[in-house]
């Protein structure tokens, strides 16, 4: 599992670093060097140091806004982390952390929190007190339900829950008003019921589940641009798919689709449609090509 998500972890780290000017905010890798620098320290990385604990001296560096603790041996979130009140970006991917402590609420400036590839079975409700949090990555843990705390953070723009054991999605998902990107791939979801999604959602990933049908309210998402529902058990797509006015890419590969409704022809912005691995006859394929001349279709 770790190998599967390694590239994702690297991507998240690179995205975080992209927010930091390396000249203005040099990243230190040693606390002693940082303390001796005589400069205000904003960014630190202890990636791959095989640490079980952080050096307590880090608490003196109270201007740090970026902290990378990826690929260590932390079994818990070190208390020194919570002394860093300016922390904005925190990456603790690839450790052995089993829970998020109550003190997480002390990081009131946190905007991006990445805790992929750990051993979480639940998410502390105190996470809901982080009112500036925009991005959270909880990939490849042991979560079996969608964390309720996330429903209480309306500032969230991106949620990644890929590679957990989630089978139940909270019905109040639409409360996360600013959500733009949601990744629920590689879980154990088989029924989305009549789930309502946040209206501003642009990216939705549902691949590698056991979903039998897409909820009709999904097709109300006029802002949706990218939908991946490949590798599920979907047999039919509702004619209400016409509601996806701005969708650019849809991936329905490796499902049980024999046909698609004619309303797909109304998706004028659809550039890419992936249908490989579905039991479609040649005549159906030719018809779909005819009604969607503007779309690149892969069979």
Q: What is the pLDDT of residue 110?
A: 98
pLDDT band, very low/low/confident/very high, at 233 (cuts 50, 70, 90): very high
Residue 298 pairs with which residues in a beta bridge?
A: 274
Q: What is the pLDDT of residue 20?
A: 61
Q: What is the pLDDT of residue 14?
A: 42
**Mean predicted confidence (pLDDT) in 139-152:** 96
Which of 14-28, 93-107, 186-200 is the least confident region?
A: 14-28
CB–CB of 104/83 below 8 Å? no
Share of the chain above pLDDT 70, in %: 92
pLDDT band, very low/low/confident/very high, at 17 (cuts 50, 70, 90): very low
Residue 19 has pLDDT above 50, yes or no: yes
Residue 94 has pLDDT above 90, yes or no: yes
* Phi, psi for residue 160 in degrees, rounded to 5: -120, 120
Torsion, Cα 137 138 139 141, to 10 degrees, reads 160
**Whole-prediction pTM:** 0.91
CB–CB of 156/129 below 8 Å? no
In whole angstroms, give the CA distance from residue 222 to residue 31. Answer: 49
Q: What is the pLDDT of residue 13?
A: 41
CB–CB of 26/43 below 8 Å? yes
Q: What is the pLDDT of residue 18?
A: 45
pLDDT band, very low/low/confident/very high, at 16 (cuts 50, 70, 90): very low
Domain 1-137 CATH assignment equals 3.30.70.141: no
Q: Residues with Cβ < 8 Å from 57, sequence gap 6 or more?
A: 31, 32, 35
CB–CB of 55/77 below 8 Å? no
HEC string of 15-47 equals: HHHCCCCCCCCCEECCHHHHHHCCCCCCEEECC
Q: Residues with Cβ < 8 Å from 262, sequence gap 6 or more?
A: 239, 291
pLDDT band, very low/low/confident/very high, at 22 (cuts 50, 70, 90): low
In whole angstroms, give the CA distance from residue 168 to residue 146. Answer: 6
Q: What is the pLDDT of residues 237-293, one digit of tens each?
A: 999 999 999 999 999 999 999 999 999 999 999 999 999 999 999 999 999 999 999
**Mean predicted confidence (pLDDT) in 218-229:** 97
Number of DSSP helices (H) and strands (E) in the chain, helices first? 3, 13
Which of 19-28, 43-52, 235-244 is the least confident region?
A: 19-28
Q: Residue 265 gets which letter from DSSP?
A: G
Residue 119 has pLDDT above 60, yes or no: yes
In whole angstroms, give the CA distance from residue 197 to residue 224. Answer: 10
Q: Residue 133 gets which letter from DSSP?
A: -
Q: What is the pLDDT of residue 25?
A: 79
In whole angstroms, give the CA distance from residue 185 to residue 277. Answer: 18
Residue 202 has pLDDT above 60, yes or no: yes
Within the chain, where are the H helices? 2-17, 31-36, 282-291
For the chain, what are the domain ranges?
Answer: 1-137
């Amino acid at each position: 599992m770790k190998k599967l998500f390694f590239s994702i972890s690297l991507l998240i780290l690179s995205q975080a670093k992209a927010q930091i000017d390396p000249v203005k905010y040099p990243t230190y890798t040693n606390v002693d060097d940082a303390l001796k620098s005589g400069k205000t320290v904003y960014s630190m990385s202890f990636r791959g140091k095989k640490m079980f604990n952080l050096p307590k001296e880090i608490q003196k560096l109270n201007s740090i806004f970026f902290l990378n603790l990826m690929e260590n041996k932390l079994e818990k979130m070190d208390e020194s982390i919570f002394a860093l009140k300016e922390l904005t970006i925190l990456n603790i991917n690839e450790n052995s952390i089993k829970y998020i402590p109550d003190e997480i609420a002390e990081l009131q400036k946190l905007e991006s929190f990445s805790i992929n590839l750990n051993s979480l079975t639940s998410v502390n409700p105190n996470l809901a007190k982080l009112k500036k949090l925009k991005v959270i990555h909880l990939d490849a843990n042991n979560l079996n339900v969608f964390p309720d705390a996330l429903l209480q953070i309306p500032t969230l723009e991106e949620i990644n829950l890929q590679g957990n054991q989630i089978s139940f999605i909270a019905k109040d998902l639409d409360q996360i008003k600013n959500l733009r990107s949601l990744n629920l791939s590689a879980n154990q979801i088989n029924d989305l019921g009549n789930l309502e999604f946040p209206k501003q959602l642009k990216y939705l990933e549902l691949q590698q589940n056991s979903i039998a049908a897409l909820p009709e309210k999904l097709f109300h998402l006029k802002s949706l641009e990218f939908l991946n529902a490949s590798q599920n058990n979907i047999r039919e797509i509702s004619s209400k798919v016409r509601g996806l006015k701005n969708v650019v890419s849809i991936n329905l590969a490796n499902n049980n689709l024999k046909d698609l409704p004619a309303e797909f022809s109304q998706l004028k912005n659809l550039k890419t449609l992936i249908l490989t691995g579905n039991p479609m006859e040649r005549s159906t394929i030719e018809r779909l090509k005819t009604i969607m001349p503007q779309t690149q279709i892969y069979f």
